[in-house]
Amino acid sequence: MLLGSVEAGGTKFVCAVGDENYRVIETVAFKTTTPEETLGQTVAFFKRFKDLKAIGIGSFGPIEVRKSAPEYGCITKTPKKHWAHVNFVEYIKSHINVPIYWTTDVNGSAYGEYILSKQENEKLESIVYFTVGTGVGAGTIIDGKFLGSLGHAEAGHIRVKRHPKDMSFSGICPYHEDCLEGLVSGPTFEARLGKSGREVPFTNPVWGYMAYYIAQAVLDYTLTIRPNQIVFGGGVISETFLDMIRKEFADLLNDYVDVPDLKEYLRMPRAEDNGSATIGDFALATKALENEAVEKL
Amino acid sequence: MLLGSVEAGGTKFVCAVGDENYRVIETVAFKTTTPEETLGQTVAFFKRFKDLKAIGIGSFGPIEVRKSAPEYGCITKTPKKHWAHVNFVEYIKSHINVPIYWTTDVNGSAYGEYILSKQENEKLESIVYFTVGTGVGAGTIIDGKFLGSLGHAEAGHIRVKRHPKDMSFSGICPYHEDCLEGLVSGPTFEARLGKSGREVPFTNPVWGYMAYYIAQAVLDYTLTIRPNQIVFGGGVISETFLDMIRKEFADLLNDYVDVPDLKEYLRMPRAEDNGSATIGDFALATKALENEAVEKL
């Protein structure tokens, strides 16, 4: 059985076809340009696989994920040129008529990590995937379902307590200035220091401020949702930086509630090479197939 | 059918017996003193009702709610004298052998509001009950289940961005100083102004700071859990103060995601006279009865 995955990012798209064991058979990546061109390339790739049974799409957003909403399947009010109100699902479906699972990029990654944890017999009841890259976001799965009644999470835009030595930086979020994303996303390095994060050594205090802010978001999740595990992804995250986050988190929590060993509780992805999303999208494609089978009964 | 409710607060206990329509038949309240005396009074009250079928208990905490945990049914590491590690459920059960549902006080209230919304045909998929009183806490229900894999929520201890005009107050939480509870719980009025909140007019800027902090907690819930509705309770909350919270919340959200009209989305309880907990505990007692019937199959 062939399954499709679309990891639809604001910078690039990664499309893949895999088998029922979620093994990648072929993959392709291209830049995100106009919807016509980019969705056209997506369709052209999948058209080559005659036996494709379903597609899982994890998209940049905000997107409409509620099936009852008129805009279901659309990217909604993104500031990204050309892409606001594009009906992504309808476009794909009009060219490749297979069941489609539609969710956010972080939800796709969260689902991949959830599936891999099950394969490793970890049986997590709940898992959060937290990404810090060009943007900041999180996807949460509880008992196999995505969290969110009014839509998907937008965890990047919560507020955090400012670090006493970092009061002057005003933040770069166009909507909220110093929300979490405005303080810790990849582009903040350029705004703070005039260079990319890769050029900034971990001894620079900015990494410490960022660890403090991200640790507060992790604390929020820990105290409100009480998930079994939080997995980190995105270009800003590394083992070294995650260790700084763990330390700040331990200080903030101050043993108030019990959590597992922090090396296990706050962890790097199980999937190598950022592969969580592709595995998750394949698994969600299977889910779309099952859902359609149930609807036809 | 007779059902029991125990609203076990750190200051007082309210016990009630009601019928299958969650109507209160008799109620009693007494001070929380030692476990022997207070749990003794609780048992004595319920012993008078021979046909009692089940009891729902919503307790102050932290408590152990995971059935698989050795300390299930206990209050855990509370600073409250005499009460740490008391096995509440075992004590009640050893005297009154009926099914018991054991959860936190805020979860009990959340469940009451969830039940009332169903009775009003609102069909909320998810609801949060947020209390600001002697302490600060929240309970969340999603698809009829309490949120929390590692235990119950402790939402009072998240961190918030400090108001620029309120940087000098250090907060009163013994564990985290200026966490949310350390900044907005009832006793902060005494710490800030040397008098009770009832004596402080809403024109005092302290109310504004508190509204700003609580609005951030509401923003956290809105952006991470995306619940259908957030209901407010606790001694510090009033319609006037909730209006201040709504205004701060709208400013913080800046229309980033869609939420229902704020009068509906952030609302006072449906139950009168703080009755949400009793109704919730009755409904949870029914659930305990059903669970036991299933387990006996």
The sign of the dihedral angle between the CA atoms of A108, A111, A113, A119 is: negative
Contacts B143 to A, Cβ<8 Å: 145
Q: Among candidates B225, B244, B234, which has minimal Cα distance to B163?
A: B244
Digit-coded pLDDT (tens) for B149-182: 999 999 999 999 999 999 999 999 999 999 999 9
| Lowest-confidence pick of A121-125, A215-219, A280-284, B105-109 | A121-125
C-beta atoms of B256 and A175 within 8 A: yes
C-beta atoms of B226 and A149 within 8 A: yes
Q: Identify the band that residue A293 occupies on the pLDDT scale cut at 50, 70 and 90.
A: confident
Instruction: Work out the average pLDDT over A211-240.
Output: 98
Given a cut of 90, is residue B290 above it in pLDDT?
Answer: yes
Q: What type of residue is B214?
A: I
Q: Identify the band that residue A63 occupies on the pLDDT scale cut at 50, 70 and 90.
A: very high
Residue in A148, A161, A252 closest to B162 by CB: A161
Whether the bond between A62 and the residue before it is cis, its omega within 30 degrees of 0, is yes
Q: Does A188 touch chain B (CB under 8 A)?
A: no
Residue in A143, A161, A226 closest to B150 by CB: A226
Domain B2-105 identical in fold to domain B121-269: yes
Q: Does A154 touch chain B (CB under 8 A)?
A: yes
Given a cut of 90, is residue B42 above it in pLDDT?
Answer: yes
Closest residue of chain A to B177, computed from CA coordinates: A252
C-beta atoms of B175 and A254 within 8 A: yes
Residue B140, beta-bridge partner list: B128
The pLDDT, as a whole number, for residue A281 is 98
Instruction: State how far the alpha carbon of B209 is from the alpha carbons of A49, B160, B169, in Å.
Output: 59, 11, 11
Instruction: Work out the average pLDDT over B72-82.
Output: 91
Contacts B227 to A, Cβ<8 Å: 149-150
- Which CATH entry fits the domain spanning B2-105: 3.30.420.40, 3.10.180.10, 3.40.710.10, 3.40.630.30? 3.30.420.40
Most A-contacting residue of B68, B128, B150, B264 (CB-CB within 10 A), to test interface: B150
In a 3-state reduction of DSSP, which class is residue A153? coil
Q: How high does pLDDT run on average in chain B?
A: 96
Given a cut of 80, is residue A46 above it in pLDDT?
Answer: yes
The pLDDT, as a whole number, for residue B171 is 98
Query: What contacts A104, CB < 8 A, 6 or more positions away?
Result: A58, A59, A60, A61, A63, A65, A137, A139, A152, A153
- Measured CA to CA, the distance from residue A197 to residue A38 in angstroms comes to 29
The pLDDT, as a whole number, for residue B274 is 80
Q: Which string of b and e fits A243-266 if b means at least 16 CB within 10 Å?
A: ebbbebbeebbeebbebeebeebb
Torsion of CA B133, B136, B137, B138, to 10 degrees: 70
Residue in A125, A161, A176 closest to B159 by CB: A161
Most B-contacting residue of A128, A131, A152, A159 (CB-CB within 10 A), to test interface: A159
Q: Identify the band that residue A55 occupies on the pLDDT scale cut at 50, 70 and 90.
A: very high
Contacts A176 to B, Cβ<8 Å: 252, 254, 256
Given a cut of 90, is residue B45 above it in pLDDT?
Answer: yes
Is residue B72 packed enough to be buried (19+ CB in 10 Å), middle (13-18) or exposed (0-12)?
Answer: middle
Q: What type of residue is A55?
A: I
Instruction: Work out the average pLDDT over B273-287.
Output: 95
Q: 0.90 cut: is pTM over it? A: yes
Q: Is A293 left (phi over 0), alpha (psi -120 to 50) or beta?
A: alpha
C-beta atoms of A160 and B157 within 8 A: no
Instruction: Work out the average pLDDT over B261-290.
Output: 95
The pLDDT, as a whole number, for residue A134 is 92
Given a cut of 80, is residue A297 above it in pLDDT?
Answer: no
Tokens of A118: 């099950």
Question: Can you name the CATH fold of B121-269?
Answer: Nucleotidyltransferase; domain 5 (3.30.420)
C-beta atoms of A227 and B157 within 8 A: no
Q: Does B126 touch chain A (CB under 8 A)?
A: yes
Contacts A140 to B, Cβ<8 Å: 224
Min Cα separation A50/chain B (Å): 39
Digit-coded pLDDT (tens) for A12-24: 999 999 999 999 9
Most A-contacting residue of B167, B223, B228 (CB-CB within 10 A), to test interface: B223
The pLDDT, as a whole number, for residue A201 is 98
Given a cut of 80, is residue B102 above it in pLDDT?
Answer: yes
Provide the residue count of chain A. Answer: 297
The pLDDT, as a whole number, for residue B190 is 98
Min Cα separation A213/chain B (Å): 10
Residue in B161, B175, B252 closest to A161 by CB: B161
Q: Does A68 touch chain B (CB under 8 A)?
A: no
Q: Identify the band that residue A145 occupies on the pLDDT scale cut at 50, 70 and 90.
A: very high
Q: Does B227 touch chain A (CB under 8 A)?
A: yes
Q: Does A176 touch chain B (CB under 8 A)?
A: yes
| Percent residues over pLDDT 90 in chain B | 94
Residue in B155, B176, B224 closest to A254 by CB: B176
Digit-coded pLDDT (tens) for A150-177: 999 999 999 999 999 999 999 999 999 9
The pLDDT, as a whole number, for residue A156 is 97
Tokens of A26: 């072929």
Domain parsing of chain A, residue ranges: 2-105, 121-269
Digit-coded pLDDT (tens) for B107-154: 999 999 999 999 998 889 999 999 999 999 999 999 999 999 999 999
Min Cα separation A260/chain B (Å): 9
Contacts A258 to B, Cβ<8 Å: 150-151
The pLDDT, as a whole number, for residue B151 is 97
Q: Does B161 touch chain A (CB under 8 A)?
A: yes
C-beta atoms of A149 and B216 within 8 A: no
C-beta atoms of B142 and A138 within 8 A: no
Contacts A219 to B, Cβ<8 Å: 157-159
Digit-coded pLDDT (tens) for A72-130: 999 998 878 999 999 999 999 999 999 999 999 999 999 999 999 999 988 899 999 99
The pLDDT, as a whole number, for residue B294 is 87
C-beta atoms of A149 and B221 within 8 A: no
Given a cut of 90, is residue B77 above it in pLDDT?
Answer: no
Q: Identify the band that residue B238 occupies on the pLDDT scale cut at 50, 70 and 90.
A: very high
Q: Does B122 touch chain A (CB under 8 A)?
A: no
Min Cα separation A186/chain B (Å): 21
